[in-house]
Amino acid sequence: MERTQKLAADITQEMSRVVVGQQGVLEEMLVVLLAGGHALLEGPPGTAKTLLARSLAAMLRIEFRRIQFTPDLMPSDVVGTNVFDPGQKTFALRRGPVFTSILLADEINRAPAKTQAALLEAMQERQVTVDGEKLRLPDSFTVLGTQNPLEYEGTYPLPEAELDRFLLKIEVGYPSREDEQAVLARYRDGAPPQDVAVRAVADGAMLAAARAEVASVRVDDAVLGYVTEIARRTRESPLCAVGVSPRGAVALFLAARAAAAVAGRVFVVPDDVKRMAGPALRHRVVLRPEAEIEGMTADRAVREIVETVPVPR
């Protein structure tokens, strides 16, 4: 896994020039990219969610577009539409920003469900349908969605079907005291993060090669059974009204495999599964009302369920 580990190390080192702290968040974003999935980053405004996504795309030197989701955004603003050309007397496709390698869906939960659902087909099948015509998206197509917590003004909950298509839900919290002071010091010294020129450390071909390397990581039957049992126990838990779907079990498997590759291993260990269980499953379980009343959270529920599953030796 030398190539994949070096790619992850180079990105991490370069990102430290732009973003202070948030190492766990960056690691999970790398897992998503290497696994070929999509990521939902949730956190309060001003915690570098957009900066992380934009800088990561620049480091990979692949096509990048951004959509600022707003309450009046229409599905055609995302996927595109056919426009009549008077000169040619025919309709021509005006492609939307979804035709890219990395799509930053900024503040995705500020758009209504109809517009959010425009991404469903693109995220699952890497294609979109415009006026009945199916159009392929690049194999590297990745959605990095950012959202504010639901208690913030002007937000809409994402449809469960769309949530289930995000490989990981990454929680972006406030920085530590030391990191926050380091951010202020950069502004004092005239080097704010948004003004830092990001250096490209890879390209699309290197990312594709790293993904192929990740696909060769070994996962034995005992670890597969461990992943399966975690998923099944979410459906049986008294804490959950809705447990993890088979797609969720696949997401946990893919995330654990990519995490092993980032660590430089050619095999998955149970600790990889434990590390990825929260980000892979927190947005896929629905708690029972009585559990929520008692202060239970999805993260805590997943953690408690994982602790009940015997670890394979």
Nearest Cα to Cα of residue 67 among 22, 28, 106: 106
CA distance 245 to 256: 17
Residue 201 resides in a domain? yes
Helix (H) or strand (E) segment spanning residue 252: helix 246-262
pLDDT at 152: 63
Clarify whether residues 221 and 202 are in a common domain: no
Q: Are residues 230 and 200 in the same domain?
A: no
Kindly tell me if the per-residue pLDDT of 110 is higher than 90: no
Domain containing 134: what range?
Answer: 2-207
Do residue 131 and residue 241 come from a single domain? no
pLDDT in tens, 250-304: 999 999 999 999 998 999 999 999 999 999 999 999 999 999 899 899 999 999 9
Helix axes of 2-15 and 246-262: crossing angle, nearest 10 degrees:
90
pLDDT at 249: 95
241 vs 133, more confident: 241
Q: Which amino acid is at 26?
A: L
Which of 255, 63, 66, 34 is closest to 145 using CA atoms? 66
Mean pLDDT, residues 176-186:
90
In-domain check, residue 312: no
Residue 123 lies in a domain: yes
User: Is 135 part of any domain?
Assistant: yes
pLDDT of amino acid 21: 83
3-state helix, strand, coil in the chain (%, to 5): 50, 15, 35
- pLDDT tens for 48-78 read 888 888 888 889 888 899 999 888 888 888 9
Cα 53 from Cα 39, distance rounded (Å): 10
Strands (E), 55-188: 64-68, 80-85, 90-95, 102-106, 127-130, 133-136, 142-147, 168-171
Q: 226 with 203, same domain?
A: no
Give mean pLDDT, residues 14-43.
90
Considering the domain architecture, whether residues 181 and 245 belong to the same structural domain is answered as no
**Domain shared by 303 and 190, yes or no:** no
Whether 313 is in a domain gets the answer: no
Element (H, E) at 305: helix 298-307
Output the pLDDT for position 253: 97
pLDDT at 88 over 80: no
Instruction: Look at residue 132 and tell me whether its pLDDT is greater than 90.
Output: no
Which of the residue ranges 1-5, 230-234, 281-285 would you say has the lowest mean pLDDT? 1-5
Residues 73 and 131 in one domain: yes
Q: How many C-beta atoms surround the C-beta of residue 164 within 10 A? A: 18
Q: Are residues 181 and 256 in the same domain?
A: no
Q: What is the pLDDT of residues 192-231, one digit of tens each?
A: 877 777 888 888 888 888 999 999 999 999 999 999 999 9
- Interatomic CA distance for residues 228 and 230, integer angstroms: 6
* CATH number, residue 153: 3.40.50.300
Among residues 146, 179, 207, which one ends one of the domains? 207
Tell me what pLDDT residue 236 has. 92
pLDDT confidence band for 150 (50 / 70 / 90): low
**Number of folded domains in the chain?**
2
Question: Both 196 and 224 in a single domain?
Answer: no
Residue 67 lies in a domain: yes
Q: Which residues contact 64 (CB under 8 A, 6 or more apart)?
A: 54, 57, 58, 100, 101, 102, 103, 104
User: Among 207, 234, 254, where does a domain finish?
Assistant: 207
Q: What gap in Å lies between CA 102 and CA 57, rounded to an integer?
A: 7
CA distance 196 to 58: 12
**Are residues 116 and 148 both part of a single domain?**
yes
**114 — alpha (psi -120 to 50), left (phi > 0) or beta?**
alpha
- Shared domain for 143 and 284, answered yes or no, is no
Asked whether residue 212 is domain-assigned, the answer is: no
pTM confidence score: 0.89
Compute the average pLDDT of residues 13-17.
87
pLDDT band per the 50, 70, 90 thresholds, residue 43: confident
Amino acid at 290: E
Question: Using one digit for the tens of pLDDT, what is the confidence trace for 159-176?
Answer: 888 888 999 999 998 888
Strands 286-287 and 240-242: antiparallel
Instruction: Point out the domain boundary residue: 207, 234, 252.
Output: 207
238 and 303 part of one domain? yes
CATH number for the domain spanning 230: value is 1.10.8.80
| 301 within some domain | yes
